[in-house]
Amino acid sequence: MPKGLQTYDYLVFVLYFILIASYGFWIYKRKKSATVNTQDFFLAEGQLTWWAIGASLIASNISAEQFIGMSGNGFRLGIAISAYEWLATVSLVVVAVFFMPVYLKNSIYTMPQFLKTRYNETVAMIMAIFWLFLYIFVNLTSILYLGAIAINNLTGGANFHLIMIGLAVFALFITLGGMKVIGYTDVIQVMVLIIGGFITSYIALTVVGEKYGYGSNAIAGFNHLLKVAPDHFKMIFDKPSTGATQKQIDDYSSLPGLAMMAAGMWIANLNYWGCNQYITQRALGADLKTARTGILFAAFLKLLMPILVVLPGIAAYVLYQNGALQQQMLSNGTLNQDNAYSSVVGFLPIGLKGLSMAALTAAIVASLAGKANSISTIYSLDIYKKYINREASDKKTVSIGRGIIIVSLIIAIIINWQDTLGIGGKGGFEFIQKYTGYISPAIFPVFLLGFFWKKATSKAAITGIIVGVILSIVFDKFIVGWAGNETLIYTAYTNGHGGFEIPYLIQMGLVFAFTMLTMIVVSFIDTKGQTHENDLVQDTTRYQLSNAHLAMIIIVLGLVAALYIRFW
C-alpha cells in the first residue's frame, strides 16, 4: 500500500482549493454589501435557497469529528455509533416543525437574542459567554486538532503544526466573506465530501472483498463484514452483566443501550440541532417554507453519513483483526482508533487519495468556518453591540466580527500546539460529545420550557443553568465517590483505570431531569402559578405542514425505523 500522497493527489487537492477560493470570491464580489451589512454578513438574510441551507447544515456539521472521531468509533463500537446520525434526522424533523416557527415568527437572529426575548437580558448574557467558551475551547479547538491529525496521517507524516495553520487560514479565507459565502461554498464542499466519502467506503469494502477471496465486489465485502464482525452491526448494546469483559463495559459506557434512548442521546441531538447558533444560523435568515425544506433536506443527507464515515471504520477493524493495517493504526507505538479513516484511505489509487483529502478538508474547513462565524455573530451582536458599543455602525460591527474570527482561530492554534486539552488522549468524537454534554443538559431545559411553557420565569432559567452545570460536574467527578457505584438512579461502571464512571449519556439524562424539575419548582414559587410575562410571540398556525413537508417527514422517519429494525 503506497504511503502518503503522490504528485497527482496534491494536484487534485490544489484544484479543489482553487475551485472553492474562486467560487467564494465570486459570491463575495456579487454582493459586496455583505461587507458592511450585519444581517447579510452574519445571516445572509434572504439569500440562501433551501438546498444551500440543507447543504450548509451538513457541511458545517460533518467534520473531522465525524470523519476521524466517528470513524474511529466505528472501528471500536461498530454501527451503534450511527445513533448520533440517524437520531439526528428525527431531531431535525422536530426542529423544522416546532422550533423554527418560533424563531422566525419572533425574528430571532441569535440564540442569546431568543433568551433575552423569552426571559431577560441576564439569561442572554450568561449563555452568550457560555457559548463563546464552549465554541472556542471545545468545538473549534477540537475540530482543528482532529483535522490536522487526519491530514498529517494522510500525507505520510508532514508537519502537524504547519497543517493546522494552513487549515485555519483556509477557513479564515472562507469565513471573512460572511454567511452567504459560507453557505454557497458549502454546497460544493458537501458535494465533494459526499463523493469522496462514497468512493472511500466503496474502495474499503472492495479491499475487504478482495482480501478474503470474494473478488472486486463492494457488496461482497459488506456481506463479509456482517459475517465476521456481527458485534459491529448491533445498534443497541446490552447492559453489562456480572462477568462482562472490560470491552463490553466500555462499549456500553459509550452507548448505554436503551437507557440512552430515553436520556442523553435526545438531549445531545435536540440541543445541537435546535438550540445551537452554529447550526440554526443557516436557517434564521430565510422564510419558514425555505427553512423547513432546507432542514428536512439536511435530514435526508444525514441518513447517508454512516455509510461515509462508519463503514470505513468497521472495514478497518476487520482488516486490522486479520493482520492488515498494523502499522497504520498505531500512534506512538499504540493502537489509536482515530487512525481508522486515514488508514483505509491508503488503499485508494493515486489521484483518488487527493480527492479523499479534499473531501476531508472540505468537511474540516466548512465546520471551522461555520463555527468561527457563529463565534463572531454571538460576540458582535450579543456582547459588543449590547454592552461595549451600542452605537456601533454596521461597518464597525462587521469589522469587529472579522477580528473575533481571527482571534478565535489563533486561540485554537495556541491551545492545540502542545495538545493542552488532551484531545489526542481519547477518541476525538467522545471528547467533543462529553464536554459539550457538560453544558447541553443545562441549556436545553431553558429552551424547551421557553418554547412550550409560559410559566417558566427568568429566575428559573438562571437557576436552572447554574444548577445544571454544577450537577454535570458533580455527576462526572464526585457523585460515585459520595454515593457509591450502585444507586436507585444510576449504575457506575469500571473504566479500566481503577475508577468508576457513570456513562456520560446517562449523566446528561439525569442532569436534564433535575434541571427541568428545578426550573419548574422555581417558576411556580416565582409566579405562584401565574403565567410569566415575556415578549415571545406564539402562532400555532405556523406549526401546520404542507403536503410536501409531511411527505418528506414520513419518508425520513420511515427510513430511520427501517434501519433500526434491521440492525437492532
Contact criterion met (CB below 8 Å) for 147 and 167: yes
Helix, strand, coil percentages (3-state) for the chain, rounded to 5, are 75, 0, 25
The pLDDT value recorded for residue 561 is 93
pLDDT in tens, 370-414: 788 888 888 888 888 888 888 777 778 888 888 888 899 999 899
The pLDDT value recorded for residue 245 is 86
Considering 7-21, 185-199, 250-264, 509-523, the range whose residues carry the highest mean pLDDT is 509-523
Average pLDDT estimate for 212-224: 79
Residue 346 has pLDDT above 80, yes or no: no
Share of the chain above pLDDT 70, in %: 86
- For 246-303, give the DSSP string: HHHHHHHHHS-HHHHHTTHHHHHHHHHHHS-HHHHTTTTTS-HHHHHHHHHHHHHHHH
The model's pTM is 0.82
pLDDT in tens, 307-318: 888 998 998 888
Strands 330-331 and 334-335: antiparallel
Assign 295 a pLDDT band (cuts: 50, 70, 90).
very high
Assign 33 a pLDDT band (cuts: 50, 70, 90).
very low
Residue 284 has pLDDT above 70, yes or no: yes
Cα–Cα distances (Å) from 314 to 71, 81, 344, in that order, read: 8, 11, 10
Please report where in the chains the cell 435546535 appears, as a residue. 274
The pLDDT value recorded for residue 522 is 93
Identify the residue with better confidence: 138 or 559.
559
CA 139 to chain centre: 9
Grid coordinates representing 180 are 452567504
Contact criterion met (CB below 8 Å) for 340 and 317: yes
Residue 68 has pLDDT above 80, yes or no: no
The pLDDT value recorded for residue 27 is 66
Q: Is 466 exposed, middle or buried (0-12, 13-18, 19+ CB in 10 A)?
A: middle
Residue 432 has pLDDT above 50, yes or no: yes
DSSP 537: P
Assign 204 a pLDDT band (cuts: 50, 70, 90).
confident
Choose among 434, 431, 568, 567: nearest CA to 506.
434
pLDDT in tens, 97-117: 998 888 888 888 778 888 888
Give buried/exposed letters for 532-545 (b at 16+ CB in 10 A, else e).
bebeeeeeeeeeee
Q: Which residues pair with 331 in a beta bridge?
A: 334
The pLDDT value recorded for residue 532 is 64
Average pLDDT estimate for 126-140: 84
Assign 292 a pLDDT band (cuts: 50, 70, 90).
very high
CA 351 to chain centre: 29
Assign 2 a pLDDT band (cuts: 50, 70, 90).
very low
Residue 530 has pLDDT above 70, yes or no: no
Residue 203 has pLDDT above 50, yes or no: yes
pLDDT in tens, 351-360: 777 777 777 7
Considering 19-28, 114-123, 323-332, 550-559, the range whose residues carry the highest mean pLDDT is 550-559
Identify the residue with better confidence: 222 or 263.
222
The pLDDT value recorded for residue 504 is 84
Domains of the chain and CATH, by start: 7-20+48-77+106-236+273-418 (1.20.1730.10)
With both helix axes pointing from N to C terminus, report the angle between 458-477 and 504-527 in degrees, rounded to the nearest 10.
Answer: 150
Identify the residue with better confidence: 161 or 61.
161
The pLDDT value recorded for residue 34 is 44
